[in-house]
A and B are shown apart, each in its own frame.
Chain A
Amino acid sequence: MKHRTITIDPVTRVEGRGKITIWLDGRGDVKDAHFSVFDLRMFEKFLEGRPVEEAPQIVTRICGICPVSHHLASAKACDMLFDVEPAETGSLIRELMHMGQYIHNHSLHFFFLAGPDFLVKGREQGLLALIREKPELAEKAIQLRKVGQEIVEKTGGRAIHPVTALPGGVTKKMSKKEVDEIAADLSSVEKDLRELVNACKEGLLDKKELMLELDSQRSYYSALLNNGDFDLYNGKIRIIKPDGQIAEEFNPNNYQTQIGEHVEPWTYLKFPFYKKAEWPDGAYRVGPLARLNVAERIPTPEANREFTEFKDEFGKPVHNTLLYNWARLIELYYALERAKEIVEHEKTAANDVRHSFKIKKGEGIGVIEAPRGTLIHHYVANDEGIIERANLIAATTQNNMHINQSVRDVAKRRIKSGRIDERVLNDIEVVVRAYDPCLSCSTHMSGQTNLEVEILNEHGEHLKALTN
């Protein structure tokens, strides 16, 4: 047995483009593995020279799945830069848009992309298999996601790449009629949500052994938190240690003192880390699992009940990567409940949607919990309000180190002494999908990701290809 290389290209049912390479040593055991991301578009550079109030309109194009996150983080950075407090109703409308996005994103991820691994036989056909094998479930999932996208359209003007957020609030007030329609839509899917989540939990529990065994990473976790409460829109960043102890809690505006980004030559995706713990030990995870590990309580009743059940079942902090999927379902409850609270709020249909601002020199940092984790936008503008420097740290980037680690660990489990367990492809993809990686976002760059394994000898010559 010579040194061999295994390549998985492309990884399917995730968003973005990249490949996985696994190197075997002379004994045929896994020596190393890389998840290399191909995408790059370099928004940080071409934002320079643009009027900063236009940034919320430009950065949406970083990601077509979670454009709302970029739109709002950008608007928040503009608020700070122009020193304008967003209008109360404007903030409510922004947060409602955000909840709409969560309903869409988390439904998309579970029912359309990752869920088929747990819910159907013909899982490689993804959503198409769900439609064929479980049409009623598919119909409900499609309706749930539709409600999410319609909320984004009503609040943001368009479901994909919304446009209403600007410094100081949003452009347009919501009519009572629009708010009532959203309330009715939310009520119409409430029962379905429970049914859908229960079906998903069953699907996951059927594979409980795999879920608990396949991959576990004792990592740091980081998320926004509002006085200890789970929050997706506002708060401080808390980082916890692998044992659950608080390592740091800081105002997001100080992110630069706490977070650094490491660069490797083999991927376009950078590697953020918690500076005090240094690279690579300080690499942390973000996203649904991290948010639940960091939070003490979820401030809406159903989600909090699910959260308590989750903690009773799996402990805290939870390190099993596949439980990202479960955590996402709990967040779906929160998104629906929080959206409901907002539409019931007396100020949501009020006129006070926007405060005026003056163009000036400044620096602004906007932070939000995107579906995949904490998202940071940071702009510096000159006297004319033109962007001189822009820095972006997207959610998936912060999981980069551990996605790599997970791939390596699963490969080690399934490839021994040159014997490649056929499950390796499947298992690697299942673990990567649990992170719901968005490679467009993470490299502010481009995307789509599929998985294919190629085995090469020590001279880089093709020996065998594995595809599913």
Chain B
Amino acid sequence: MKLRIAVEGLGACAGCEIAILDLHEELVSLLQDLEIDYAPILIDRKSLKENVDVLLLSGSVRNEHDAEEAVRLSEKAKITIALGSCASFGGIPGLANLYATRELLERVYLTTESTDNKEKILPSEEVPPIEKIIKPLKDWVKITYDLPGCPPQPKLIKEMFQMLLNGKPVTLSKKTVCDECDLKREEKKITRILRWGEGELESGRCLLEQGYFCAGPATRAGCEAKCLAVLMPCRGCMGPPENVTDQGAKMVSAIASVAAIDEKSGVDPEQLATMFKDVVGSLYRFTLPSSIISRRVSEGKKR
């Protein structure tokens, strides 16, 4: 019997759905074992009437329509998978949690350079109201498994389908991105944090040890360290490694371990911290909504 699946993207970029299509000819073979019952981006079925075995739910709940859709669909699925990092952790759109809804809407609809809106209209008719903050999908519906990544690499999606077809639980790598990275580590200590692209990039050498912020030590493996292979430091899209809740906290300890603090010619930790711009946007780029402090809690000055 074929595995019956539904695929739906909530507030998202469709990258997770394209990642499924990026299995290319392998997807055609997989379709012999899969029955796609619902996937608005691909087929015209307008609603999911019957139950399915697996729901692949990507994106985040940004408005009431997304919330209703998530609940309605997950009720019809035996297994619901949070596909991608928006679904698993909140993802990049979760950075909107740093601002109040009013600030977000005013910027977009009133004050951008090209907006011509003298009547100060904010969209409010015929459109679903906005949810104030982004939360991971597990806060909305029961999630059976997370398949993180922005997007999850097609290889991981293939493995997920194989596990599901074999009736096995969906498991993830327990390693970190550093374990998959080919760049050479020399146990060197850093005395400064460079901005991305500043100075000369030395190929073949650990980017963190060159002074560039790299989230590799605090990020789950599975992506094959593809960014590092083209000399772009990890930004943490796979989310925290096994048994870690707060990716940023894990990263701070990783930086501390390579920083030349308390050594003779070392740096003052305070000074190192000031070299680090945009703490939240770096340490929690993909995971702010699922971190310990998941949103701005006061009107105070933001970092």
Contact = CB atoms under 8 A, between A and B. Distances in A.
A160 B230 contact: no
A335 to B, nearest CB: 17
B114 A46 contact: no
A265 B121 contact: yes
Contacts of B281: 49-51, 54, 58
Contacts of B92: 58, 61
Contact of A393 (B44, B105, B114, B123): B114
Contact of B122 (A124, A265, A359): A265
A446 B62 contact: yes
Interface string B68-94: 000000000000000000000001110
Contacts of A446: 9-13, 59-60, 62, 66, 93
Nearest to B103: A45
Nearest to B200: A356
Contact of B40 (A10, A123, A149): A10
A263 to B, nearest CB: 4
Contacts of A354: 201
A46 B95 contact: yes
A168 B59 contact: no
B51 interface: no
A384 B277 contact: yes
A41 B123 CA distance: 14
A261 B115 contact: yes
A346 B43 CA distance: 44
B218 to A, nearest CB: 17
A261 B9 contact: no
Interface string B187-229: 0000000011111110100000000000000000000001101
Contact of B227 (A17, A145, A158, A386): A158
A126 B65 contact: no
B14 A167 contact: no
B113 A467 contact: no
Contacts of B43: 12-13, 124-126, 128
Interface stretch (A31-39, A184-192, A200-208, A287-295): A31-39
A448 B15 contact: no
Given A12-B44, A256-B114, A62 B103 contact: no
Given A171-B201, A261-B114, A57 B123 contact: no
Given A128-B36, A161-B151, A359-B198, A386 B277 contact: yes
Interface string B88-131: 00011101101100011101110011111100011111111010
B25 A139 contact: yes
Nearest to B12: A446
A61 B98 contact: no
Given A17-B65, A158-B227, A357-B197, A467 B47 contact: yes
A145 B93 contact: no
Contact of B231 (A13, A171, A255, A263): A171
A409 B276 CA distance: 55
B96 A45 contact: yes
B114 A255 contact: yes
B256 interface: no
Nearest to B197: A166
B273 interface: no
Contacts of A265: 121-125
Contacts of A272: 114
Interface residues of B, number: 85
Contacts of A156: 230
Contacts of B237: 161
B113 A256 contact: yes
A61 B13 CA distance: 6
Contacts of A268: 123, 127
A100 interface: no
A157 B227 contact: yes
B252 interface: no
A465 to B, nearest CB: 9
A65 B196 contact: no
Contacts of B235: 57
B11 A445 contact: yes
B42 A128 contact: yes
Interface string A5-43: 000001011111101010000000000001011111110
B294 interface: no
Contacts of A448: 8-9, 12, 14, 17, 40-41
A64 B13 CA distance: 5
Given A64-B17, A131-B31, A139-B25, A45 B116 contact: no
A74 interface: no
A352 interface: no
B2 interface: no
B297 interface: no
Given A13-B44, A446-B62, A53 B197 contact: yes
B232 A164 contact: yes
B184 interface: no
B236 to A, nearest CB: 11
B116 A279 contact: yes
Given A45-B104, A50-B278, A447 B11 contact: yes
Contacts of B99: 42, 45-46
A359 B195 CA distance: 8
A128 B2 CA distance: 15
Contact of B126 (A41, A149, A260, A267): A267
A438 to B, nearest CB: 8
A272 B92 CA distance: 26
Contacts of B126: 19, 21, 34, 36, 266-267
A146 B227 contact: no
Interface in A118-132: 123-128, 131
B45 interface: yes
A431 B46 CA distance: 18
A263 B282 CA distance: 33
7 contacts: A13-B42, A42-B107, A159-B22, A163-B232, A172-B231, A261-B114, A468-B46
Interface of B: 8-19, 21-22, 24-25, 28, 31, 36, 40-47, 59-60, 62-63, 65-66, 91-93, 95-96, 98-99, 103-105, 107-109, 112-117, 121-128, 130, 150-151, 195-201, 203, 226-227, 229-232, 235, 237, 277-278, 281-282, 285, 302
Given A41-B96, A145-B24, A448-B40, 14 more contacts: A14-B41, A45-B108, A49-B302, A54-B281, A61-B93, A61-B150, A63-B14, A64-B18, A127-B42, A160-B15, A267-B127, A357-B198, A446-B66, A450-B46
Q: Which 6 A-B pairs have the closest CB atoms?
A: A64-B15, A446-B11, A157-B230, A124-B44, A260-B116, A450-B40
